[in-house]
Structure 1
């Protein structure tokens, strides 16, 4: 039926043509999808966030409930909707510190973007509209009621409520303003709530000092967004205090509005000073006020970075501290029962400056484990941690086996060749983790303490999970389905986790008492990417090739230009088994390109030796990988026209794009470089020094400012002036050097845009402008 086929081709062509707008309006097709899933208590209830539709940025709090009768169906209950709680949710005033946290965590939504739940799963708290909110489940556990909580009367109206966390027993909530740590004791109603400031910074403490917040590099590079942690008994807090005074002062301005003053901020640029970080133990009285203060003791000069804090029931708090070069770390057990922890403070004496914090009595810390590596040590999410029976679980680099492994009690638990990515949970009999044997698949694996291993995901993809009691939520993306798939399952009382069937089936034979799929309201692009997975070159780089679809006017061409679309830098991948990674590549392919994404040395999932091949030479090594991928392509894709090759990328991908036309102009003939870190001395300490060390000459060799006179290919530089991660100074310095060398280039400045580029109009037009630039650069005639 040619008419039907033609109609379908026309529809597919229209959907691909609308992709830039659809992607921008849907926040990369994530709006309306369930996220931030967490199972608590016995496992019958799971909480998650979801907006009401594919273009709705206002995220609500939801609950999935598996019925007590064990039937194979679910109830999805809306617990809190910002549109109902606030008169105008879309105009919510968000504190600057919270905006910074969202930037660090790449949070693009609005409304309820984070929540905290007690251990039993009966109470949840969140911040919204300048207020602190409590959701209390109904007695039957099938619904909830939401109300505001009282705030300390001594704090000014409209103060920022940052990172609220409920105590494990559900009786208290702590939050920070950045200057004060507040504790609210939950009453029967608003009038019965009791709120106070547990401790705060003295008025004489400088603006650079913060309490209860994570410093910049912790959020940006360590994925640690918390600045305080409850004790398992809900009677004390570990609280971070930091002084960013040693860091250089940087300014972010809006050149489009010269009347608006520049914003000063501290930024720990490479080869400069870090913030000074301390950790306090704050014991609370019955009213929530601080009754004693002490600080955690370790050698702060030798170990500048506080990477992990974890306080589990029945165990001493765990700290992971790193030295400046990240070649040595220590796992510390903090003795919170020491006499120093009981040093009483006078009634009403609750304010300190940083010197006063440093003068507090020090708690003893015991070294539980140490690690060394001549290049660097990785942080693995979820580790270190205690098993329920008191064994230390940690990540270890097995150099002989070229494997990052999970070790429990000093013994490797995960096998050789199984690269550990994240620990999700430590149970009584097993560990739940995300690993890769094939770096393209993030597999959900159960490691039994008896040595058994079970892969739980039904097919390759990017998977994760949350587990508590007999309940588990498994979620993931695959090449078979366009969006996130997630199931809330309850295992039968005597069933093993191996019985879990992630594909949504349940029944007595499977050992799953109930299993229900979480619904999604997210859109998808309406087309499936035309992807082939390949291996390239002598190093067998993992690559993905996307060709024009059958509906594209470029389908069937004998020769097409090549578009390289890498990230290419350390610690991240783009060649994975998930459709969402290739939607934009399909749009580019339908504009008339063979699109190639290749993961080179430094990208994750292939082992420590592969990761560390970039040490002190990441620019040349990562560029050489892209060149090798291009040269190997015609053997696999005869359509590839190597006389017309371009590269586009963002962040490290932007750096690699600019680098390619400067150092490999015979291979890459045009580039669009988005937010490129062109001078690595302008990027932060924790990331950059991990890979480049502390020798300024290494930085000069890996930066590209000095390469400016070599430019002889078209280059577009794109950067947001409000980017507080990769400063716009990177692009301006390269542009200045190009101008001084008399080299023509294009600069696309984005006013008010951060590193995330979440403005829908900007995000849409960026794709179109880059396409048209590359058309001109490569001599491609547009087709309709």
Structure 2
């Protein structure tokens, strides 16, 4: 066993990259569809297969479970492994951190009978048989085969597909066969318009910071579309170049740089005409000057569209409904044909439903705002007295204090299904009743999510109890009652959870660690005693071959949530009396590292087995502990986040006497890279070496929506929170790592800090990564990155002098 762990540890750096962090072969992007007896999902063929296929999970009339391959990219394309992906799609994948190939996203109609996706520059349709056990896939016939097919979305009734080329919004009417498909442009930019204008695509900050990747939305009755148009003329032009290939010119792009202009975003309403009749096009009207961010668009059955718009500082937002006309009769003439002209288009009014304000910032809660089907608006509210982000129905709070709302998954007439934290380390699935009741669905703490449709649900979860996650499809019966997710057979609900006491006292629900079945014991489907059909989707992913040796603790004055990872029993450092300390935080706003998910600690375990005691601490600004904790970093995130890492370090010997505080290093990527560089610049007596990956060293070089939320609009605040001016203070070894193709954190950040260090005569190391973006999925680069950092830190700490 010890030899197996040692071999796994040696293979880890390359295996991590080759398997996309051990996710290949696992089901993902699962979506319950139709009446809930079906779920569409993606999965590649094995633990090192990047090419993802489209699958269906279905229960037949006898309750037997089946997994049906709907579309295999290698059967559809001869060169599926070398697919030429359009630049706009590559940008979307970078924003969503998508590392797979093949079919990576899809769209399903309301009935769950038809699925569309883009592959190889073509538009494809999978038709599912009524019993769900077979399917056929064909390419839809398009008039212009040379145009990009971006973000296809099928109409709710399954009769049409809309997609964008970037300059045209196309609608394809699906025929009985390819010869009967009909395509037309329903909205287009004027001829000669350059790439500063885009149609039907989410702008950069929407994808990078708002998790909104859509740029157009179908009406529930399939008779209209809302279409985003973006003018980036006022944004600065940035260039990305490849210095390793000087014969290739730089690539120009617009970037929403902090403290500069944003793209101008508008929204057109397109009412589709019958057959080939011209559509009617109007322009949705709101106060764009006061509320320039379009954060959310949601169009639910039986309701007008909802918009959530934000002001530049994100201290105010408004929920609007769009006054879509019931019919085209009586409307003033729309635009000329299908050409976009917002200035002359008829105005489509909006109405303010809710307004929110906060002196620091307002968070976006995924899934909100949303209507309850029978009526009533559900939104999020920052309850400062209870220090809780809570849910409201028509302005009345109904979720309990202490239940921090992370995401809303579905809004039903009886309840809301949400991801909630009472302990920030666990992302729990909760059914929240409008009467204030709560029901925790997951038995084990971990990172949980779900998709709910009709009378079915797909539950996805990762915990500390197993290396792999689990995706379980459940059909709940005719009433769709979540109470049918009983403990028997499902392993999702505990025998006794203190829901009632938590509801009465406001005390947090703290799930306990329990054993769980091995995920490889996949059942073929069964019916529990409460009538729910259930099956675990097959998973062929690999695991790293070792289990992290983790202790979870609370540290310091702020009771920081932290994880300590020690060398494994087979490591030569297992019984060392003294170990150098490696701080491995993210540490910044909006993201956590200390969670009940085993995969978060695999890399930490590799570092521990290289001879380090690894400490990860979530300081102020990380989510899940309440609005006051989040906002403690406002306008001072550099110093506050550094202070919390130093606080955790000082407390470490109380939990790990072997910690050698005379030899301490820090590593990190993105904000963690910034924090690592910051630590050796401002705390060289405490942090003795650092490796900083893709660090945003100058916050004026990062995007508007993220940076201005935390730092505001005062340039002096940016200078105080940046680290360029700290360059003369460097007296510890520092390695800077950056990809030249990074379009999120520009390599200019590292080059500016390196230039300042050079000007100050401070030695440092720069590791440039040619052709690498903010993601480092190249297996050779990923492997060598870990090894080079390890060797750099070992040498730096060995040669440390006071």
Aligned counterpart for 1:172 among listed residues 160, 165, 175: 160
**Matches for 1:585-664 after TM superposition, within 5 Å:** 585-664=604-683
Aligned counterpart for 2:463 among listed residues 478, 488, 496: 478
Residue aligned with 2:81, SS? helix
CA positional deviation for 1:343: 3.9
Do the aligned partners of 1:172 and 1:183 also contact (CA within 8 Å) in 2?
Answer: yes
**Matches for 1:290-369 after TM superposition, within 5 Å:** 290-337=278-325, 342-345=331-334, 349-352=337-340, 356-369=341-354
1:259-314 Cα offsets, whole Å, 9 max, x none, are: 10100000010000000000000111233664210011101000010000000010
Aligned counterpart for 1:63 among listed residues 52, 56, 74: 56
1:251 is matched with 239
Matched, 1:372 2:360: no
TM-score, structure 1 length as denominator? Answer: 0.96
> 2:581 & 2:39 partners in 1: Cα distance?
46
Matched, 1:400 2:385: yes
Aligned counterpart for 2:45 among listed residues 27, 49, 52: 52
1:4 is matched with none
TM-score, structure 2 length as denominator? Answer: 0.94
2:405 is matched with 420
> 2:135 & 2:799 partners in 1: Cα distance?
58
Residue aligned with 2:157, SS? coil
CA positional deviation for 1:359: 2.6
> 2:331 & 2:633 partners in 1: Cα distance?
48
* Structure 1 residues 765 and 343, CA gap change in structure 2 (3 angstroms): farther
* Structure 1 residues 377 and 123, CA gap change in structure 2 (3 angstroms): same
CA positional deviation for 1:406: 1.2
1:737 is matched with 756
2:731 is matched with 712
1:210-247 Cα offsets, whole Å, 9 max, x none, are: 00000000000000000000000101100000100100
1:293-336 Cα offsets, whole Å, 9 max, x none, are: 00111010000100000000100100000000000000001100
2:570 is matched with 551
> 1:501 & 1:487 partners in 2: Cα distance?
13
CA positional deviation for 1:338: 7.4
> 1:431 & 1:238 partners in 2: Cα distance?
26
Aligned counterpart for 1:230 among listed residues 207, 210, 218: 218
Do the aligned partners of 1:558 and 1:639 also contact (CA within 8 Å) in 2?
Answer: yes
1:597-624 Cα offsets, whole Å, 9 max, x none, are: 0000000000000000000000000000
| Structure 2 residues without counterparts, runs of 5 or longer | 492-524
2:66 is matched with 75
**Matches for 1:514-525 after TM superposition, within 5 Å:** 514-525=533-544
1:641-669 Cα offsets, whole Å, 9 max, x none, are: 00000000000000000000000011110
> 1:763 & 1:392 partners in 2: Cα distance?
46
Do the aligned partners of 2:316 and 2:355 also contact (CA within 8 Å) in 1?
Answer: yes
Equivalent pairs counted in the alignment come to 765
CA positional deviation for 1:74: 1.4
Aligned counterpart for 2:133 among listed residues 142, 161, 165: 142
> 1:207 & 1:508 partners in 2: Cα distance?
55
CA positional deviation for 1:509: 6.1
2:702 is matched with 683
* Structure 1 residues 74 and 717, CA gap change in structure 2 (3 angstroms): same
1:442-484 Cα offsets, whole Å, 9 max, x none, are: 0000012233210001110000001111111101100001111
CA positional deviation for 1:206: 2.8
1:504 is matched with 490
Residue aligned with 1:357, SS? coil
Residue aligned with 2:205, SS? helix
> 1:287 & 1:744 partners in 2: Cα distance?
70
Residue aligned with 2:24, SS? coil
CA positional deviation for 1:499: 2.5
> 2:647 & 2:131 partners in 1: Cα distance?
62
* Structure 1 residues 377 and 489, CA gap change in structure 2 (3 angstroms): same
CA positional deviation for 1:150: 1.0
Do the aligned partners of 1:441 and 1:577 also contact (CA within 8 Å) in 2?
Answer: yes
Residue aligned with 2:287, SS? coil
* Structure 1 residues 181 and 702, CA gap change in structure 2 (3 angstroms): same
CA positional deviation for 1:350: 1.8
CA positional deviation for 1:494: 4.3
Residue aligned with 1:84, SS? helix
1:215 is matched with 203
Do the aligned partners of 2:279 and 2:338 also contact (CA within 8 Å) in 1?
Answer: no
2:174 is matched with 186
| Structure 1 residues without counterparts, runs of 5 or longer | 1-7
Matched, 1:278 2:266: yes
> 1:494 & 1:220 partners in 2: Cα distance?
39
Residue aligned with 1:770, SS? helix
Do the aligned partners of 1:293 and 1:343 also contact (CA within 8 Å) in 2?
Answer: no
Aligned counterpart for 1:672 among listed residues 668, 686, 691: 691
> 1:162 & 1:182 partners in 2: Cα distance?
10
Residue aligned with 2:625, SS? coil
Do the aligned partners of 1:197 and 1:289 also contact (CA within 8 Å) in 2?
Answer: no
> 2:553 & 2:563 partners in 1: Cα distance?
6
> 1:357 & 1:323 partners in 2: Cα distance?
21
2:601 is matched with 582
1:443 is matched with 428
Superposed CA RMSD in Å reads 1.5
Extract structure 1 runs of 4+ deviating beyond 3 A.
287-290, 338-347, 505-510
Matched, 1:118 2:87: no
2:24 is matched with 31
Do the aligned partners of 2:209 and 2:706 also contact (CA within 8 Å) in 1?
Answer: yes
